[in-house]
Chains A and B, each alone.
Chain A
Amino acid sequence: MLHARDVRRGECVAVCSTAALRRGVKIGMPLAEAISLLEADTSSPAEQSLGRKRGPMEESGLPRGASVNSRQRLLSEAKAQHALVGHAGKRRASFSAQNSEAPLNASHAESARSRKAAQPGEAAASCSSGASCYFAPHQPEADRKALLELAAWCEQFSPHVGLEPHSEPQSLLLDITGLGPLFGGEEALAWRVIEAFGRRGYSIRVAVADTVGAAWALSHFGADLRSGKAADALRPPPAGSSGKSDILRGQARSSSVVARNMLPAFAVSAPRIIPPGQHREAIGSLAVEALRLPAPTLETLHQLGVFQIGQVAELPRASLASRFQHEGKCVLIERLDQAFGVIEELIAPHRPPPEFRAEFCLEYSMASLTGVQTILAELFDKVCRELASVGKGVLRSVCRLDCEGGEVRKIELGLFQPTASAERLLELAAMQLEQLRLPGGVGRVGVEVEIAAPLTVRQQTLFAREDHSRPRELAFLIDRLSSRLGADHVFRPRLLSDAQPERAFCETSLIGHWEEKRKAESERRKKSNGKPHSAAFRVRFSASERPLRLWSPPIAIQVVALADGPPASFRIGRRCFRVHRWWGPERIETAWWRGRSVRRDYYQVETTTGARYWLYRHLRTRKWFLHGEYG
């Protein structure tokens, strides 16, 4: 169950599993009410007999009351996380993915860990009655990010991958027009996709149809084929298939069996493939919810006794247009026409196609990094010549190495200033290549320029002065540091207006934001009327009020202090300090709008040795923490 914060009602249910829905939980219900519903429900004997096996979910800080198997069952019935909608005449594949072993998404594991660190015991306390449930805050942005990552990974199956057109997409759309023969048939392609996701811990539902709407409907509302029937329900490959497809079929069969053994309670769904031209009949018996309609339209249809798509298609269109208006247009007719193929629905790619790219396919895979470096040098040279001809340079680039087994390794290069120098790009790529472990031989090497920016024009002088090379050398240094350490580890700090000390500054990345930097610089020049930006700036505190080192998180310490008074002595680890002088308290009360408010009384203390520290007393818990030192 995922919860999100509502401004008026507090924490409410955002997403929940089918099992929770059966127990009366509703989307939008206050979380406390949902918990009480689940706790009040008596668990089934099957669930009670499940063993207490310690699994990965438990290690991530989840309530210890639940067992691994019951969690897996809950996840298997959870709302579909991702759906690959493919179709075409154009054939597109549609599938929905459910993460079988890992938490619902990566963000949930992280949030569970962070919650455990910040509020120890809270996750366990929420299920103190022993109910088999898992809670995590709903993070739509993290879900979207994970889905985008999967979309990029799915490019190995189709060059056109897009997200479902929704504010919180949960499906992936693939255009597999003409790709079936490359994989030995559409069914083989679908099983290959299922296998690949299965290796990543996802269980997916695949549907292939002529239209996006039909494939989406089948993947979400098509009949489920459970594990016991999945192997039996497998259709034999079409006659005349090549030996390659036989191998794929064999692999598909074995992978489905393996998956079944590993996750006995988990469903492995066979792909639903609709032959071309038969999608209208295939989706006619599905529920109207499969048309992706807004809630008011669905409610009206149910009131009229219309529950299936076939029934909607039989209604007169003129009356539909007048009766089912939502936000000024008839979404019902639009969705119906999209599902039946009357209107073409395009798949918006998850990322814009790169403008400059170069690729090299090897006849035989190569495991030597030196060879890969040589190929990269040629590709960089080609791309840089194209860029230089239009006066642009690389600001952000991705090198893609397609390895054996479908594994893809990427080297991301971000630069401080745009460059058209192939040597410089190769130097940065070589730095990352040294630390890269390839899973196998490389079959294809590709270079794509994600962001290109105009090159800065530098007039050549007769006598080269050192001053002109300093900014360039600094830019080279930033590129090298970012390439080896990571773009997130090299930044420029910027002050923020926030009373909470740890939020009083932010980290501004130096890589790949050349245009934003130029605009900010020109705006600053306009505001200062052309005067050079001076070293002076506005600071809120004097030099003696804030420590030079701030620990995050603050360190819990033992303090001897008078009631509500300043500290007299404190202990950090095994070291004891006596306070010689102190200043304060400085009370900071803030962040009530972010959830739990921050209420601290800060003291600056000077010990008998002359060292200065910044301590605070937490006003709610009355505990003391060491936050910084004036080093």
Chain B
Amino acid sequence: MPRKAKVTLPLLEGSSRQIAATLQEEIRRLEGARPISRDDALLSAGCMAMDQLLPEGGLRRGWLTEWLGIEGGGAGALALVAAREACLDGGALVVMDRERCFYPPAAAALGIDLEATIVVRPQNHKDELWALDQVLRCRGVAAVWARLGNTDDRTFRRLQLAAEEGGVLGLLIRPDHLRGKPSWSEVQFWIEPKVVGAFSAPSAAHSRTDAAPSAPARVRRLRVEVTRCRSGPTGGAAEVEFDEVTGALRGANFHEETHPLFVAPSVADSTAHRRSTTA
């Protein structure tokens, strides 16, 4: 009869929470992830619903994250909200815009401070990768937001190492057909827009003004699923939606959240009261 191999488990002391943290760190070390520095504060991904999907409750600087979705599906907007959170402590946001279609007024409406935003327009893919590498290595940058198509593993790994070295949060918006492909990112989100309401063909009977009570609300609901996470479980999903006026992101079941609401000062009024948390 073959002998059974002896497995010696390390002696773990402390409370169950401490033991879980130690085991988590061990797993991360075995997976080759960068050790968590106590100076790296957690960054919100935009709202509590999304933060709860992540094993540590948020994003960290030096992470390369992917945001996959269809064209016009909201992946870019969600990533920009995460970039906004990363730049709250005064760092710069770099937008890589090779296609020359980044629209700053829309970004400003989502809460991006354009004074701290630098737009880079490389003319070809080679320059784009070089610029991305340089930006990810710069400690003066808080986050970089870029649309990246097909990239080979070697380049992706180089970008990941650059992000770890520079401590920059990389937000890469990628096309939907890359879902399921190998990746070097720390976290990969799959964003799927949810169609709200029954389909009805537009008719000329609709009023020309949008202010009519029958006009559909511009609620934009998205389903976010974590399809890859190096330091935690995957498969978690949540539904979030954008406030159509303020652009704030909240969980679809927002009445259960106590996340502070971002309100643009042009809309905010000192006498306004907070929305009731009960439905």
Q: Would you call B104 and A495 a contact (CB within 8 A)? A: yes
Residues from chain B with Cβ under 8 Å of A566 in the complex: 202, 206
- Counting chain A CB atoms within 10 Å of each CB, which of B100, B192, B195 scores highest? B195
In the complex, the answer to whether B247 meets A543 with C-beta atoms within 8 Å is yes
Contact digits for A547-581, partner B, Cβ 8 Å, 1 yes 0 no:
11111100000000011111110000000000111
B105-138 vs A, CB cutoff 8 Å, 1 = contact: the mask equals 1111111011111111111000100110011001
> Which residues of A (608-631) have their CB < 8 Å from a CB of B?
608-613, 628-631
**A544-B242, A579-B202, A585-B208 known; A551 vs B130 contact (CB < 8 Å):** no
- From 52 to 80 in chain B, residues with beta carbon under 8 angstroms from any chain A beta carbon are 70-77, 80
Residue pair A538, B266 in contact (C-beta under 8 Å): yes
Please choose the segment from B14-22, B23-31, B212-220, B271-279 that sits at the chain A interface, where 4 or more of its residues have CB less than 8 A away.
B212-220
Count of chain B residues near A, Cβ 8 A: 72
Task: Determine if B45 is an interface residue (Cβ-Cβ < 8 Å).
Answer: no
Cβ-neighbour of B195 out of A494, A501, A549, A610 (below 8 A): A610
With an 8 A cutoff between CB atoms, is A272 at the interface? Answer: no
Whole-angstrom distance between the Cβ of A538 and the nearest chain B Cβ: 5
**Which of A477, A535, A579 contacts B113, CB < 8 Å?**
A535
Distance in angstroms between the alpha carbons of A631 and B206 in the assembled complex: 27
Pair A490/B101 contact, Cβ less than 8 Å? no
CB of A211 within 8 A of chain B?
no
Interface code B211-231, partner A: CB below 8 Å = 1, 0 otherwise?
000011010100000000000
B contact residues around A550 at 8 Å (CB): 101, 103, 106
How far is it, in angstroms, between the C-alpha of A535 and the C-alpha of B111 when the chains are bound?
8
Q: Measured between alpha carbons, how far is A536 from B75 in the docked complex, in Å?
A: 24
| CB <8 Å contact, A492 and B72 | no
Q: A485-B120, A492-B114, A610-B195 are in contact. Are A480 and B134 (CB under 8 A)?
A: yes
Which one, A510, A579, A583, contacts B210 given CB within 8 A?
A583
Contact: B103 with A543, CB < 8 Å? no
User: Among the listed A472, A533, A583, which residue makes an inter-chain contact with B115, where contact means beta carbons less than 8 Å apart?
Assistant: A533
- How big is chain A's contact interface, by range? 35 or more
Residue B51, interface by CB 8 Å: no
- Asked if A505 CB lies within 8 Å of chain B CBs, one says yes
Given contacts A544-B244, A547-B106, A631-B77, contact A491 B193 (CB under 8 A): no
A568-B118 contact in complex given A481-B131, A485-B131, C-beta closer than 8 Å: no
Please state if B73 and A610 are interface contacts (CB–CB under 8 Å): yes
Cβ–Cβ < 8 Å partners of B246 in chain A: 542-543
Q: Is the CB of B106 within 8 A of A562?
A: no
Q: Is the CB of A582 within 8 A of B107?
A: no
User: In residues 464-512 of chain A, which contact B (Cβ within 8 Å)?
Assistant: 466, 469-478, 480-481, 484-485, 489-495, 501, 504-505, 507, 510
Given that A539-B266, A568-B202 are known contacts, is A580 also in contact with B195, CB under 8 Å in the complex? yes
* A537 CA / B104 CA spacing, docked (Å): 13
Task: List residues of chain B with CB within 8 A of the CB of A478.
Answer: 118
Instruction: Report yes or no: A606 in contact with B195, Cβ–Cβ below 8 A.
Output: yes
Q: Residue of A at shortest CB range from B67? A: A631
B193 pairs with A610, CB closer than 8 A = yes
Interface pair A631/B173, CB less than 8 Å apart: yes
Is A192 engaged at the interface, CB distance under 8 Å to the other chain?
A: no
Within 8 A of A (CB), among B169-191: 173
In the bound complex, CA of A492 to CA of B265 (Å)? 22
7 contacts between A and B (CB under 8 A): A469-B140, A484-B131, A504-B105, A540-B105, A549-B103, A564-B204, A612-B193
Residues of B in contact with A (beta carbons under 8 Å apart): 70-77, 80, 88, 91-92, 99-111, 113-123, 127, 130-131, 134-135, 138-141, 173, 192-195, 197, 199, 201-204, 206, 208, 210, 215-216, 218, 220, 242-247, 264-266
* Residues in A lying within 8 Å of B, measured CB to CB: 466, 469-478, 480-481, 484-485, 489-495, 501, 504-505, 507, 510, 533, 535-552, 562-568, 579-586, 604, 606-613, 628-631
Extra contacts besides A501-B105, A548-B76, A562-B202 (13): CB < 8 Å? A485-B120, A485-B122, A485-B123, A493-B104, A539-B108, A541-B105, A545-B109, A548-B107, A549-B99, A551-B101, A563-B204, A565-B203, A612-B220
